């Protein structure tokens, strides 16, 4: 998240993709049922992975985690959050442009595209009843 917010790096930037790969690996081994699964498991990392994903394998990991937890109804907040994520994924790539990873970014952070801020504004506009990303 620091790369995205503080440095304004795009989702496809190699540093961001590398961090998302680490996050995806962590999520892939998180239990979704059984004795060591807890209803207190944090949804935020899984939601953020699904929100920021640019690699299909990472999308599948987030999607599978949500589906497995939804199938065992221990948390009422999971299904609406997943539904909102699916809606966001439908419009995100079309409405929030992501520069190609090979495009040279401005050295000054202030000159970089504020895509996160745009995305949060769009989410507030379209998904206000479910999410608050501020």
Reported as a single tens digit per residue, the pLDDT across 39-92 is 667 788 999 999 999 899 999 999 999 998 888 767 677 888 899 999 999 998
Q: pTM of this prediction?
A: 0.84
SS3 (DSSP) at 55: coil
Q: 13-17, 46-50, 123-127: which range is least confident on average?
A: 123-127
Furthest C-alpha separation in the chain? 49
Tell me the backbone φ, ψ of residue 119, rounded to 5 degrees: -65, -45
Token pair belonging to 131: 């999410």
Other Cβ atoms closer than 10 A to 109: 12
């Amino acid at each position: 998240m620091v790369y995205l917010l503080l440095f304004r790096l795009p989702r496809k930037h190699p540093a961001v993709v590398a961090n998302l790969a680490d996050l995806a690996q962590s999520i892939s081994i998180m239990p979704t049922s059984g004795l060591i699964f807890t209803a207190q498991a944090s949804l935020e990392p899984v939601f953020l992975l699904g929100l920021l994903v640019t690699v299909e394998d990472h999308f599948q990991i987030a999607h599978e985690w949500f589906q497995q937890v939804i199938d065992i109804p221990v948390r009422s907040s999971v299904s609406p959050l997943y539904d909102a994520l699916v809606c966001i994924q439908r419009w995100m790539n079309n409405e929030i442009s992501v520069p190609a990873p090979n495009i040279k970014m401005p050295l000054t952070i202030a000159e970089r595209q504020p895509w996160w801020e745009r995305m949060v504004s769009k989410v507030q506009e379209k998904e206000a009843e479910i999410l608050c990303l501020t």
